[in-house]
Amino acid sequence: MKSKPGAAMVEMADGYAVDRAITHLNNNFMFGQKLNVCVSKQPAIMPGQSYGLEDGSCSYKDFSESRNNRFSTPEQAAKNRIQHPSNVLHFFNAPLEVTEENFFEICDELGVKRPSSVKVFSGKSERSSSGLLEWESKSDALETLGFLNHYQMKNPRLTASTNLGLSLRPMSASAQEEASKASPEEAPGHSYESLRVTAAQKHVLHVQLNRPEKRNAMNKAFWREMVVCFNKIAEDSDCRVVVISGAGKMFTSGIDLMDMASDLLQPAGDDTARISWHLHSLITRYQETFSVIEKCPKPVIAAIHGGCIGGGVDLITACDIRYSTQDSFFQVKEVDIGLAADVGTLQRLPKVIGNQSLVNELAYTARKMMADEALESGLVSRLFPDKETMLDAAFTLAAEISSKSPVAVQSTKINLIYSRDHSVTESLNYMKSWNMSMLQTKDVMKSVQAAIEKKALKTITFSKL
């Protein structure tokens, strides 16, 4: 903009894209300058207002006809993945023989910092390769993204005059999945039959229900392993946020009746008293499977796609935040198999959506609640067009939460849950007792200092908790 040196205007496809761009880019640093991104009062960019820049190029650039533009139609725009800036970039459309040295040479040529590590995925394509580039800081990665994206690389497998337009973007859920396939190791101390736990990013664990061939049905191993898993996470000082999702085509089909039949239909005991005693103990253990999520002081984000049936509703109502895809549905299924839901839905769902009439309807009829109704009722806070977009958003949210003081975040969760189950007076008294010790943390001074210096909390290092 000629009238405001150092300022520019960008026109995007829709309000959602603008919102995500502002959320992700505002207050980040590039070349020692803090980016300030806001909504413009001008409804559109006018080509006639352009002028010549110092390098001889025009101040107005139209990308509508570029093959790299993905905003030319609503269908293309819906496929865009707007990621939270990170120090890891996902590259693709590079030559198959690309090496770490190639990237070092390009960075030296462009005058940007070299990546600290390079990982090339074993490509599915016979034409190009993809992988990950990591820098020491997010600012270094952002600066490189500005220079290196769409850089023309020669492809030795094609004619000498044929180049590939290298593409870069912050690491998305699909890249994380590809990376996990390339290095399929679980997070240390987490090896399970029904779950898969991986380190999605710094301070964030990804817990997957991992029986896709059985639609993630909850078998005996699941009910046992969830308790072990979340008890370990609660004690893991390096973990600050958890994202929980389902592998395969749906979140979960609920209880695995075939595997659980012996416990439910043929309970141990010689008489009514002993059978009842056994069932009481069994139900207590099953309730703990989901209560352990609520007891875990780390915020848990549920990312739901496809069906969330029966025990799945018990699970997600114990989580702190719920995102879902537009094709998801929710079903309190228990009355259809002759029992009342007994591991959390009837107790937590009324408090989650605040509509007892709707809860009664869902619980009495076992009808499906579709995604739009789930959003309207408050069961989920956001809807997404597909699983990948949803997971990207969930990990972005997790990264945002994990950047804040763990003392503050975990104290907030504990007091929110206490307040839900107690009166205002009792909750305020509990809060006083809690904060008379927690206010002595160094995190308060660090956060206040960051605010005074107008620094993002993401630049502050908080000690493990």
* Residues contacting 84, CB < 8 A, separation 6+: 24, 170, 395, 396, 399, 400
- Strand, helix or coil at 112? coil
Catalytic positions, please? 255, 311, 314, 334, 342
Tokens matching residue 433: 């007792």
CB 28 within 8 A of CB 22: no
DSSP code at position 47: G
CA distance 68 to 150: 8
The CA-atom distances, in angstroms, between 120 and each of 24, 83, 131, 141 are 26, 20, 4, 17
Handedness of CA 427, 429, 432, 434 (dihedral sign): negative
Tokens matching residue 415: 């007091």
* Residues contacting 153, CB < 8 A, separation 6+: 94, 95, 98, 102, 106, 163, 164, 165, 166
What is the β-pairing status of strands 241-246 and 300-304? parallel
